[in-house]
């Protein structure tokens, strides 16, 4: 899977800064359309995150911190089940928040920091 590109928005989806790769918030878009449901959106969001990491030669195992935004914390358990299955131990540090609204009316958005040591 190739890393998704911003849909007309003025930002960089991921950027390397020294030993770090910072991935902008990803949502569950495929070809510009959201997949249906919290679990499917969480899976696709993580797949999009993984694609951004792969564009820098990294994997989900390199992620050390995520920030997760949910449209409804009542869906936290369903989100957490998918999230927990995607990230192996030791899982990244994480913050999770309910927000009023996400881009494209998504149910979940995840941003991440990954450690990518520069070869010395």
Domain boundaries, the chain: 16-115
DSSP structural state of residue 19: T
The CATH classification number of 16-115 equals 3.30.1330.40
The pLDDT assigned to 100 comes to: 98
Burial (0-12, 13-18, 19+ Cβ within 10 Å), 91: middle
Confidence of residue 10 (pLDDT cuts 50, 70, 90): confident
Q: By C-alpha distance, which of 31, 16, 15, 50 is closest to 104?
A: 31
pLDDT band, very low/low/confident/very high, at 4 (cuts 50, 70, 90)? low
pLDDT digits (tens, 9 = 90+) for 79-94: 999 999 999 999 999 9
């Amino acid at each position: 899977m190739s890393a998704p590109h911003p849909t007309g928005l003025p930002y960089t989806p991921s950027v390397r800064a020294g030993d770090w790769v910072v991935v902008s918030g990803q949502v569950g878009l495929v070809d510009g359309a959201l997949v249906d449901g919290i679990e499917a959106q969480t899976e696709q969001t993580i797949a999009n995150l993984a694609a951004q990491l792969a564009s820098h030669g990294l994997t989900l195992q390199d992620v050390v911190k995520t920030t997760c935004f949910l449209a409804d914390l009542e869906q936290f358990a369903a989100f957490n089940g998918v999230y927990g299955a995607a990230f192996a131990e030791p899982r990244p540090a994480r913050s999770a928040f309910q927000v009023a609204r996400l881009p494209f009316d998504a149910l979940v958005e995840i941003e991440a920091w990954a450690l990518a040591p520069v070869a010395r």
